[in-house]
């Protein structure tokens, strides 16, 4: 593959030159209708296939929330009047609904503002509480940015952090994890389902290993809750992060599961009135908590159906794309994966160019938390993806409300524009002629 610099040079060359195709025909890319997307008119809003970034609010969740945004507006921590009592009752019901989904006791569920806060409390809170005796934390190179940044903050406080590599399929090696655990280790943090490539880590195995080593196990389950079955006791999970807006609930609410027996001690990172067992001070937003509870309740009843729907739609999308386009690579393990998250690399196509061409479909080239960066995805680089392929990746996020028509339309548009962009690429033309791109030594001027 070409270096990033060489690709930019070729793109610049394309912008100002008229290239000759293999047939000898002169192509003016600025005027050739086959290669122009200027005449495409976007009628209405784009289709939404970015379910890993966020999900739409389920109408049933909104119905549950509305009374607490209008009539029942009391502070759930006010104990002296009916307004507070009715809000507190609603919050506790929501807590029970979250706990029921993950097989926990309601007293083990702490409401937060989202998975980012839950991850910060877990990683920093455990490390600091047990930091007098244990100064070692283990995580992986493909964790969410908030976990990685929390670990870097701990390194600044004198902690030692091991960032485990992952295999080419995105899964960690259990042998490497076991070797990394020392008597100094206080916490292992491994996400359940990766937000970029959808890979499912062997959470139950990790939990058993950590329990045998007397090490706390935290998992970021924002992309897994309500989508795959999770039982915190069977999986030996000590702390788990949950996000509301990833399961068709409202934004601004999440939860943290913290085991009580045997008790897990966490140092709070926020000072205040001592709400939520003193782990997360601040007024619990009743409407949002009710929304999260309702979303978890719906997920517990419809998870199996939703999962079958994801499998059907993801297979349909990939079958159509792979049948028409050569040199398309699926990133991540094809078996140990959540079917609603599909990450594909289209060789010899710039991912950002494809996203711009697919303007009538809302897609992503990676995590919404890091997509402002022009650097290739650190998750894809961690699994050994070439830089050029990492730049050519697109994430397709299928959700509960995605339709067959939307998947078919997306596949057709994707096939059309990948073909168009490749036809414009001199690299693709060289590959078609049998030239080994990797063997070329490109000179810099």
Sign of CA dihedral 74, 76, 79, 82: positive
Please give the DSSP secondary-structure letter assigned to residue 332. S
Cα of 246 vs its chain's centroid, Å: 9
Neighbours of 141 (CB within 10 A): 15
Reduced to 3 states (helix: H, G, I; strand: E, B; else coil), residue 81 is coil
Radius of gyration (C-alpha) of the chain in whole angstroms: 24
Give burial (CB, 10 Å; 0-12/13-18/19+) of 22.
exposed
Tokens of 279: 């782990």
Give 415: exposed, middle or buried? Use CB within 10 Å, 0-12, 13-18, 19+.
middle
Is 210 a catalytic site residue?
A: no
54 in Cβ contact with 368 (< 8 Å): yes
Residues 6+ apart with CB under 8 A from 219: 189, 190, 191, 192, 201, 203, 206, 237, 239, 240, 241
On the 0-12 / 13-18 / 19+ scale of CB atoms within 10 A, 70 is exposed
DSSP state of 56: P
**Contacts of residue 137, Cβ cutoff 8 Å, sequence gap at least 6:** 123, 127, 151, 154, 159, 160, 161, 162, 185, 186, 187, 188, 189
| Two structure tokens written together for 146 | 């908030």
Strands 216-220 and 136-140: unpaired
Residue 153's alpha-carbon distances to 125, 158, 388, in angstroms, are 12, 9, 31
- Which of the following is catalytic: 210, 296, 369, 414? 369
Residue 154 to residue 135: CA distance in whole angstroms: 9
Instruction: Give the residue numbers annotated as catalytic, written as ranges.
Output: 369
């Amino acid at each position: 593959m070409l270096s990033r610099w060489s690709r930019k040079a070729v793109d610049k060359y394309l912008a100002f030159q008229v290239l000759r195709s293999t047939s000898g025909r002169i192509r003016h890319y600025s005027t050739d209708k086959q290669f122009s997307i200027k005449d495409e008119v976007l009628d209405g809003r784009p289709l939404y296939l970015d379910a890993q970034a966020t999900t739409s609010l389920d109408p049933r969740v909104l119905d549950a929330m509305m009374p607490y945004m209008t009539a029942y507006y009391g502070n759930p921590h006010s104990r002296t009047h009916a307004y507070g009592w009715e809000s507190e009752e609603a919050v506790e019901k929501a807590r029970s609904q979250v706990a029921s989904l993950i097989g926990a006791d309601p007293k083990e569920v702490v409401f937060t503002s989202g998975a980012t806060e839950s991850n910060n409390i877990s990683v920093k809170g455990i490390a600091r509480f047990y930091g007098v005796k244990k100064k070692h934390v283990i995580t992986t190179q493909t964790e969410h940015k908030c976990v990685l940044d929390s670990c870097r903050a701990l390194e600044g406080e004198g902690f030692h952090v091991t960032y485990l590599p992952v295999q080419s399929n995105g899964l960690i090696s259990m042998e490497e994890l076991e070797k990394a655990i020392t008597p100094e280790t206080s916490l292992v943090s491994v996400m359940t389902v990766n937000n970029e490539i959808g890979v499912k880590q062997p959470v139950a195995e990790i939990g058993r290993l950590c329990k045998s080593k007397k090490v706390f196990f935290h998992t970021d389950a924002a992309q897994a809750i309500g989508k795959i079955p999770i039982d915190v006791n069977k999986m030996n999970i000590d702390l788990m992060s949950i996000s509301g807006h990833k399961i068709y609930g409202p934004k601004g609410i999440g939860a943290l599961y913290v085991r009580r027996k045997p008790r897990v001690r966490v140092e709070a990172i926020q000072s205040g009135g001592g709400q939520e067992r003193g782990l997360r001070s601040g007024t619990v937003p009743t409407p949002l908590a009710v929304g999260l509870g309702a979303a978890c309740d719906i997920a517990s009843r419809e998870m199996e159906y939703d999962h079958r729907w994801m499998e059907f739609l993801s297979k349909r999308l990939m079958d159509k794309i792979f049948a028409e386009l050569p040199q398309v690579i699926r990133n991540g393990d094809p078996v140990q994966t959540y079917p609603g998250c599909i990450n594909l690399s289209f060789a010899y196509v710039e991912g950002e160019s494809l996203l711009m061409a697919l303007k009538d479909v809302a897609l992503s080239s990676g995590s919404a938390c890091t997509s402002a960066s022009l650097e290739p995805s650190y998750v894809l680089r961690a699994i050994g993806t070439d830089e050029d392929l990492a730049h050519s990746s697109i994430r397709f996020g299928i959700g509960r409300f995605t339709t067959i028509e939307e998947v078919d339309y997306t596949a057709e548009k994707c096939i059309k524009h990948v073909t168009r962009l490749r036809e414009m690429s001199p690299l693709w033309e060289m590959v078609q002629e049998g030239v080994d791109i990797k063997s070329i030594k490109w000179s810099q001027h």
